[in-house]
Structure 1
Amino acid sequence: MTTYTSLKNTCIIIVILGGIYMAAQLFNYSKIDDPTTEHIGSEYMSKYNVYALKTPDKMTFAGENVPLERWDVKESFDRELLVNTYWQSQTLLFIKRANRYFPIIEPILKEQGVPDDFKYLALIESGLVPTAESSVGAVGIWQFMKGTAKDYGLEVETEVDERYNIEKATIAACKYLKKSYGKYGTWSLVAASYNAGRRFIDKQLQLQDAGDYFDLLLGEETGRYVFRIMAIKRIMENTDEFGFRYRVSDLYPNIPIRKVKVSGKVDDFAAFAKENGVNYKILKHFNPWLRKAYLTNLSKKEYEITLPAKGYINFAFSEYKSPSDSVAVK
């Protein structure tokens, strides 16, 4: 009996001591996990670093040298390089979307005789969001205003707005850019005029007695605009250098398409979509330029409606590979 009692007491003591030990461990664990403690603060700071970025000694935009030997030019470029490198979520979205939309834009730029670098202008304008709309009424990937769009051959009406049509808007943008190049003779001024308008650039060139974008003192938006394009070009052509890691399956695929011609009216695009093996949402995704749920088309104009190729309604991203002439894949 005495032995049993002694053994019982010993067990109780062991349990109590074990409980105290566990409580102490839990206390220590919670203390270490608390991000406000000195321990975690020092550990976090030892692993977290923000690095200054090395700007290249030489760089070109649209085949023209960027004078990075000038401190004012280098610092303006460095600012945009930092902003776009450390705004990781946005830049990663740019990389993902570029895999889908650059293969559409690139061949049109080449065919129209516009430098390939201007695909980055479209990216900066809209983030490569086909339905992007600005507060002043510019819409689409190339952010055309209504009047300018009509001047360059785009249809802008209640039911059809071709500013949202990537192919046609890219062709119109090329016409605008080539006309500007004929006026200014340098692609950096062409890019600046796309943002601020030719009239404003003309006025500033005359007022400041300048002949080059890099010699102009401009406002915050246009002053940063061309450098932003150059910075995103630098990052997206050297994604590994700037720490962006992704797989082929992470990129948005360039989905195979088919074209359906329509030369009459369409009473109900939901029914039209169903007849063609897709739903209304998918039809609108591929054709944001169709602004209504119907098309009266009194003039009997022929339109081409884009749809995903048969068999590509549902797909796994991993089934697609990035085009070799587009964004580099890690």
Structure 2
Amino acid sequence: MKKLDTIFTIICSAGLCLLLISQFAFKSNANANPFRTESADAEWRPPALPEQLSFAGEAVPLERWDVKERLDREVLFNAYNRANILFLLKLSNRYFPIISERLKAAGVPDDFKYLCIAESNLLPGAVSGVGATGFWQFMGGTAPGYGLEANSQVDERMDVAKSTDAACQYLKTAYAKFGTWTAAAASYNCGMGGYNGQATFQQTKYYYDLHLPEETNRYLFRILAFKHILENADALGFKVDDKDLYSEIPVRTVTVTSSIPNLAQFAIDNGTTYKILRLLNPWIRGKSLPVKSGKSYTVKLPVKSS
């Protein structure tokens, strides 16, 4: 009997210990921050700003507190959107060579490829809340004035080469009007009329001395932020292996001079699918492709497998 009493005492003591431990554990968990993760223990620091910066060969006056703080804001907002920066590093490998080639051919500085990022994030199908569309975000009513067809069947605002050529037309006109590429870039957001109105009232065309609408103020500094981050990605901690970059897709082209009533059948006849046809030619908007007399389109198709 004495032995049984001893066993009973041991069991009760063990049960009491377990009860106390469970209560303590529950209390600790109840007091824990449910939103805390392992990453919360990391230090978050602002990315370093460059000591010097230029846009299209024009110096950015970073010695001015207002300029430096505006740049700092956009670098912070965009550098800590890490997923988007990594995505842009991958996607820019596909589109930057095409954009840079068209900019160079038109005599427009290469830095304007960062304006394209600010406009559309390099997405051909990007559409703004007011209807601006494509890589360079032309409005439907403005596009034809720059040689772009934009309707329910064909929308060349989504063609990277043609829309870049159109943007170059605008930028060169704005540069001739305002005298600097920085002003031309800002006017791409607020329009030449908007920029000229502010410059006339404030009696200066110098961008960094102008008080402009907040969207335009942020716009130019977003472009500068993208330039700084992407050109210094490795130093800022953004690592993308070459094998993970999106490469330019090898294609063959065919010139279409007559209407295609059924693009799905056209795709099949050319060894591909309607889906791939649309992905390679985002400017095609419908299920058919009407071609007016004397008009032609260059259609991209996958390279035939050997």
When the two structures are superposed, what TM-score results if normalisation uses the length of structure 1? 0.82
Alignment of 1:135-284 (within 5 A): 135-284=129-278
The verdict on how the C-alpha distance between 1:264 and 1:76 changes in structure 2, with shifts beyond 3 A counting, is same
Q: 1:119 deviation in Å? A: 0.4
- Indicate whether 1:308 and 2:270 are aligned: no
Q: Which letter maps to 1:249?
A: K
CA distance in 2, matches of 1:44, 1:116: 38
Q: Which letter maps to 1:185?
A: G
Residues 74-83 or 146-155, more deviating = 146-155
Counterpart secondary structure, 2:142: helix
Counterpart secondary structure, 1:54: coil
CA distance in 1, matches of 2:198, 2:179: 16
- Indicate whether 1:97 and 2:91 are aligned: yes
Q: 1:16 deviation in Å? A: 6.7
- Indicate whether 1:130 and 2:130 are aligned: no
- Contact 2:90–2:240 under 8 Å retained in 1: no
The verdict on how the C-alpha distance between 1:54 and 1:272 changes in structure 2, with shifts beyond 3 A counting, is same
CA distance in 1, matches of 2:132, 2:255: 28
Deviations 1:124-177 (A, max 9, x none): 100111011111111000001123211111122332121111111111111111
Q: 1:243 deviation in Å? A: 1.8
Q: Which letter maps to 2:162?
A: K
Deviations 1:61-114 (A, max 9, x none): 111110000000000000001000111122222222111111211111111111
CA distance in 1, matches of 2:251, 2:28: 52
Counterpart secondary structure, 1:147: coil
* Cross-structure match for 1:315: none
* Cross-structure match for 1:37: 32
* Cross-structure match for 2:285: 291
The verdict on how the C-alpha distance between 1:273 and 1:215 changes in structure 2, with shifts beyond 3 A counting, is same
Counterpart secondary structure, 1:278: coil
Q: 1:270 deviation in Å? A: 0.5
CA distance in 2, matches of 1:106, 1:203: 31
Q: 1:231 deviation in Å? A: 0.5
Counterpart secondary structure, 2:299: strand
Once the two structures are aligned, what percentage of the paired residues are identical? 47
Q: 1:52 deviation in Å? A: 2.2
- Contact 1:286–1:307 under 8 Å retained in 2: yes
CA distance in 2, matches of 1:241, 1:33: 41
CA distance in 1, matches of 2:146, 2:159: 14
Q: Which letter maps to 1:213?
A: Y
Q: Which letter maps to 1:257?
A: V
Q: 1:211 deviation in Å? A: 2.1
Deviations 1:266-306 (A, max 9, x none): 01111111111211111111112111110221324111001
CA distance in 2, matches of 1:238, 1:259: 36
When the two structures are superposed, what TM-score results if normalisation uses the length of structure 2? 0.88
Q: Which letter maps to 1:93?
A: F
- Contact 1:35–1:41 under 8 Å retained in 2: no
Q: Which letter maps to 2:111?
A: D
The verdict on how the C-alpha distance between 1:272 and 1:35 changes in structure 2, with shifts beyond 3 A counting, is farther
* Cross-structure match for 1:77: 71
CA distance in 2, matches of 1:299, 1:184: 40
User: How many residues are matched?
Assistant: 304
CA distance in 2, matches of 1:117, 1:21: 72
Counterpart secondary structure, 2:151: coil
The verdict on how the C-alpha distance between 1:84 and 1:30 changes in structure 2, with shifts beyond 3 A counting, is farther
CA distance in 2, matches of 1:248, 1:176: 34
Q: 1:261 deviation in Å? A: 1.2
- Aligned Cα root-mean-square deviation (Å): 3.2
